[in-house]
Amino acid sequence: MYLLDTDVLIDIQRGHAPAIAWFSSLSDIPSVPGFVVMELIQDSQNMQQVRTGTSISCTITHNLGN
């Protein structure tokens, strides 16, 4: 099981190609700890970043249930 760190999700949110490539290569869906979601929200500079960060984490969490 992988736990995603805030830095990884920020890189994915910013479209950093190596982070996206690494994430796409995972065979198991990673978990996102609640404190990581809170860090994404707290460090957001605008509402678009809040929406993007929570969308990424919600998508990952939703996929865990499937």
Rounded (10°) angle between helices 6-13 and 47-64: 110
Task: Work out the average pLDDT over 16-34.
Answer: 87
Domain containing 28 equals 6-64
Q: Find all residues with CB under 8 Å of 2, minimum gap 6, and list them.
A: 26, 28, 30, 31
**Residue predicted with more confidence, 34 or 54:** 34
> Tokens 């830095």 sit at which residue?
7
By residue count, the chain amounts to 66
pTM of the model: 0.66
The answer to the question of residue 56 being in a domain is yes
**4: alpha, beta or left, given left = phi > 0 and alpha = psi -120 to 50?**
beta
Q: How many domains does the chain have?
A: 1
pLDDT of residue 18: 95
What confidence tier does 21 reach under pLDDT thresholds 50, 70, 90? very high
* Residue 1 · residue 31 · CB < 8 Å: yes
Write out pLDDT tens, residues 43-64: 777 887 777 767 766 666 555 4
